[in-house]
């Protein structure tokens, strides 16, 4: 029996044939999954609950897009660090060298001297293989759990993210000039810079009045102002920005307070929850989240706790969106003290019952 001929036939014909069969079967399974998922997607689109209140359509679209990418030979996978080809080549070269040295020493039979080069050859082989494994880069620690970077370099995440974003119900009008998110972002950036006056054009007069009342009430509690001057001083500050010196001190104190509270919200690091959130006629919620330091956006595909997120209540007045509240989902109520609907408001801790 000519074993050499059998080996050549097996290696040249049988193995490629088996590999091709396995490859074709895998592609057939992927095609079947695509067909099934498209059928399920059509049913999801016809289900109001699944379409409007869950990201199910986005999940399916992303899965279909990834499977089609694989069928067409697109490169997918997580981000990987570049391989050091020079080190890999050197490791392979020395592996072969020490392996040949081991063979040469033990060519006529076992020799204890072969242990040394043999051990080095094994270690070098492990080092060589290490260049091809564990190259996946870890997730960005600044991203919340379940978030996918929008600017993923390559791979399935990028395909899936684009599809899910398109199916997520994102409203591009939010970021248009004068849109809810655009106004909210301008408001936050002005306060971040400590310029309280620059933020006022983006806020309702009611919000401004309540900020004045809060500041004056705190001064009354500290014994700086008498109770009977609070209301007339409020009207003077809101309508005329007078007295000038008091107004200067008020805006400076407010600006410093907001700048400290919003310090992480640097320009370029403010992200937007892209779906519109209506809570009443002419009232929307806008959620501004803190982006990673590289400025890349992210998309969440599951319930996720956003750290350092800022939720603003926006009110449409005469076709203009303005900030109604920065701390609650209801507009504040003017008074002495004003009601901000915020849990733990210290202004009410020692307030007498009516």
Helix (DSSP H) and strand (DSSP E) numbers for the chain? 12, 7
Q: Is 275 helix (H, G, I), strand (E, B) or coil?
A: strand
Share of the chain above pLDDT 90, in %: 34
Which among 353, 191, 202, 332 is positioned nearest to 345, based on CA atoms?
332
Provide the token pair at 79. Answer: 């981000």
Find tokens 């895998």 and name the residue: 26
DSSP annotation of 11: I
The arithmetic mean of pLDDT across residues 89-118, rounded, is 81
Whole-number pLDDT of residue 75: 55
Q: Rounded to 5 degrees, what are φ and ψ at 314? A: -110, 140
**57 in Cβ contact with 40 (< 8 Å):** no
Provide the whole-model pTM: 0.57
Tell me the CA distances in angstroms from 185 to 69, 93, 103, 131, 279, one per residue in order.
Answer: 37, 57, 70, 45, 19
Whole-number pLDDT of residue 223: 92
Distance (Å, rounded) from C-alpha 56 to C-alpha 11?
A: 46
The arithmetic mean of pLDDT across residues 150-173, rounded, is 51
Q: Which class is 172-348 in CATH?
A: alpha beta
More confident of the two residues 296 and 130: 130
Over the chain, what is the mean pLDDT? 78
Distance (Å, rounded) from C-alpha 266 to C-alpha 291?
A: 10
The DSSP secondary structure of 301-336, one letter per residue, reads: -S--PPTT-EEEEEEEETTEEEEEESSSSS--B-SS
Q: What is the pLDDT of residues 321-347, one digit of tens each?
A: 999 999 999 999 999 999 999 887 877
């Amino acid at each position: 029996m000519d074993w050499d001929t059998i080996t050549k036939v097996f290696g040249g014909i049988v193995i490629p044939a088996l590999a091709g069969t396995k490859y074709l079967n895998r592609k057939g399974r992927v095609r079947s999954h695509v067909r099934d998922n498209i059928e399920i997607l059509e049913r999801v689109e016809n289900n109001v609950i699944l379409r409007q209140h869950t990201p199910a359509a986005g999940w399916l679209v992303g899965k279909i897009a990834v499977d089609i990418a694989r069928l067409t030979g697109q490169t997918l996978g997580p981000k990987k660090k570049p391989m050091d080809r020079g080190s890999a080549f050197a490791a392979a070269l020395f592996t072969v060298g020490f392996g040949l040295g081991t063979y040469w020493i033990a060519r006529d039979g076992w020799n204890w001297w072969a242990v040394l080069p043999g051990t080095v050859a094994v270690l070098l082989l492990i080092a060589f293989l290490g260049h091809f494994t564990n190259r996946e880069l870890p997730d960005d620690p600044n991203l919340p759990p379940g978030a996918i970077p929008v600017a993923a370099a390559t791979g399935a995440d990028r395909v899936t993210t684009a599809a899910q974003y398109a199916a997520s119900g994102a409203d591009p009008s939010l970021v248009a000039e004068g849109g809810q998110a655009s106004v909210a972002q301008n408001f936050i950036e002005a306060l971040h810079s400590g310029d309280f006056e620059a933020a006022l054009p983006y806020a309702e007069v009611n919000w401004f009045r309540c900020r004045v009342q809060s500041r004056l009430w705190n001064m009354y509690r500290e014994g700086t102002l008498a109770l009977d001057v609070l209301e007339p001083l409020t009207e003077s500050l809101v309508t005329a920005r007078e007295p000038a010196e008091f107004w200067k001190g008020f805006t400076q104190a407010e600006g410093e307070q907001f700048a400290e509270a919003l310090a992480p919200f640097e320009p370029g690091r403010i992200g937007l929850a892209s779906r519109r959130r209506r809570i009443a006629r002419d009232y929307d919620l806008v959620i501004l989240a803190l982006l990673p330091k590289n400025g890349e956006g992210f998309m969440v595909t599951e319930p996720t706790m956003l750290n350092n997120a800022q939720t603003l209540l926006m009110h449409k007045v005469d076709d203009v969106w303005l900030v109604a509240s920065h701390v609650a989902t209801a507009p504040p109520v003017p008074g002495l003290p004003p009601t901000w609907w915020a849990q733990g408001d210290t202004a009410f801790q020692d307030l007498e019952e009516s």
